[in-house]
Structure 1
Amino acid sequence: MSRVKTLQSFFKRYRRPGDIVFAWIVLIFSVFLLSQIFEQTAYQSRGKLVAQPRFWPAISLGTMSVFAAFHLLGSAFSERIEGRWREVWHWIKSVEYAGWFIAYAASVPYAGYLPTTIIFAILLTLRSGYHNAKMISAAIVSSFIVVVVFKTLLKVNLPAGRIYEVLPDGLRQIMLAYF
């Protein structure tokens, strides 16, 4: 007995909730990138076609656009599955943690590595739904250990916080060097 019974079963498409939204997003994004190819790349009068700076990006973006259009057609003609907007909302909620990271990275130069790490560890612990003192204490201890390992043991150069400038001289030097 063969693994692939028919060509049709080999290419059978399994639709997922949110599939058509994803197809539209990818198609719009790829067509937008393809529309920018002449502004973002240059043409050199000398040289072969395949050596042109915009040749391979145009091939890849054109292929991406064609396959995105096929994906959209396949999604449009497939049976509808409930839960599309729940799935899209799940995607949006997942992006929230990228926002937390951006806020963390933007806060470190102002508040310093140690205070920012502890504050964000506590905030993310609370955001994740752990509201008891044991979990918050674990977040504080683990964030302190992370700071000690990265800054003191591994000697990773991280921006010093502007808040450290208001500390007394001896404490400021310790915080700048180790935390």
Structure 2
Amino acid sequence: MREGPEDQPHVFPHGRRPGEMLFVTITMTVAVALLAALPWQTTWLPGKGLAAQPRFWPAVSLGGVVLFGLLNALTRLRVPRTPGRWQEAAVWLRSLEFIGWYMLYVLAIPVIGYLAATLAFCTGLALRTGYRGRAVWIAAAFGLLVVLVFKTGMNVKIPSGAIYDHAPEGLRYLLMRYF
């Protein structure tokens, strides 16, 4: 049986996806702002070739973002728009909640310690995303494994929690050093 052209996936879809132009606009705006900030964020090194300059490769990559974003926008302007742009933007904004979770985790580490913060973060995210029962225990075990690998095994320097100061002397050293 022969497959017709309608059976093949579309490499170039006929309609714009919801939020596509919004995404291109935001991406190009951020890239142009970063390009404009390059002279203040980097320096020109005398005696170095163009490719060895600190601002060259960031400028090339950001220029590529602007160029290809502009080309995308120009080719998609003539295509009929699919409704739902602001619903798509709302999904993007809701995902920012998880940045807040991570910032709370980072702020909690110096207060309650890496072990407690990591266990709370992993189990809290598991509960927040809808997991219950055994999956929450798996998340807690994963958090414990992360602590054992990074802080205990690899001896990564992470600030100890202020709560560790209230532990007995011998236990305090173990908590500060390994957990």
Query: Shorter-chain TM-score: which interval?
Result: 0.7 to 0.9
- Show the 5 A alignment for 1:7-26: 12=12, 15-26=16-27
Count of equivalent residues:
170
Q: Distance in 2 between matches of 1:178 and 1:45?
A: 47
Q: CA deviation at 1:112?
A: 0.6
Q: CA deviation at 1:128?
A: 1.1
Aligned-pair identity in percent equals: 38
* Corresponding residue of 1:65: 66
The two structures, once aligned, show a CA RMSD in angstroms of 3.2
Q: CA deviation at 1:22?
A: 0.8
Letter in 1 for 2:172: R
* Corresponding residue of 1:30: 31
Q: Distance in 2 between matches of 1:59 and 1:136?
A: 45
Letter in 1 for 2:178: Y
Deviations 1:56-113 (A, max 9, x none): 5545444432332222222322111133233222322333323322321232122111
* Corresponding residue of 2:165: 165
* Corresponding residue of 1:122: 123
- Show the 5 A alignment for 1:86-105: 86-105=87-106
Pair 1:174 & 2:177 matched: no
Q: Compared with structure 1, are the counterparts of its residues 164 and 43 closer, same or farther at alpha carbon in structure 2 (3 Å cutoff)? A: closer
Q: Compared with structure 1, are the counterparts of its residues 52 and 141 closer, same or farther at alpha carbon in structure 2 (3 Å cutoff)? A: closer
Q: CA deviation at 1:52?
A: 6.0
Structure 1 residues without counterparts, runs of 5 or longer: 1-9
| TM-score, normalised relative to structure 1 | 0.73
- Show the 5 A alignment for 1:127-166: 127-132=128-133, 134-166=134-166
Q: CA deviation at 1:19?
A: 0.5
Query: SS of 2:80's equivalent?
Result: coil
Q: Distance in 1 between matches of 2:114 and 2:105?
A: 9
